[in-house]
Amino acid sequence: MKYILFLLFLCPAVLVQAQNADSGYVNIHADPRLAAVVNKPANTNRGFIGKVRGFRVQIYNGNDRKKASATKLDFMRMYPGVRSYMVYNSPQFRVRVGDFRTRKEALEMYNKVSSRFSPCMIVPDIVNINTVRKNKDNSNDDND
């Protein structure tokens, strides 16, 4: 993707002009900002962000969109650091929270929210995983 963007900027910004066909030299007139983009160091701490099979805690399942939105909003206020998702599977709205790799991780969240949101359950789902965030969390745990 980076290289496609590079080529898109390179094509209109570069003017290739041959000075002398016999000498074999080529003059390249490029935008100076192009060198900054090309020489920019790669961000190696970005990590892998992707989707894997995992688990979420479902805190609402019903036909009422307003109630589903209100449930999601209540959860977001109570747990601002945990992602929440509203899914529509005709005719049902479902509110699912968290991105957990294992059922054990999801069970911890389930125990926290089961008293406030009823009925709730742990469901398998395709979840978003960010390894950089996990590594930062683990390094903070080591320092405590």
Query: 120 with 69, same domain?
Result: yes
End-to-end CA distance of the chain: 39
Flag whether 125 is in a domain: yes
- Give residue 42's pLDDT: 62
Query: 20 with 53, same domain?
Result: no
User: Which residue in this structure is represented by tokens 């991780």?
Assistant: 105
Distance separating alpha carbons of residues 45 and 55, to the nearest angstrom: 26
Query: 54 with 121, same domain?
Result: yes
Give buried/exposed letters for 86-100 (b at 16+ CB in 10 A, else e): eeeeeeebbbbbbbb
* Local confidence pLDDT in tens for the 144 residues of the chain: 666 666 556 555 444 444 445 567 777 777 877 777 777 766 555 555 788 899 999 999 999 999 999 999 999 999 998 999 999 998 999 999 999 999 999 999 999 999 998 889 999 999 988 765 554 454 444 444
pTM of the predicted structure, to 2 decimals: 0.59
Query: 122 with 82, same domain?
Result: yes
- Give residue 26's pLDDT: 77
Q: What domain range is 23 assigned to?
A: 2-38
> Count of domains in the chain?
2
Flag whether 81 is in a domain: yes
DSSP string, 115-136: TTSSS-EEEEEEEEEEHHHHHH
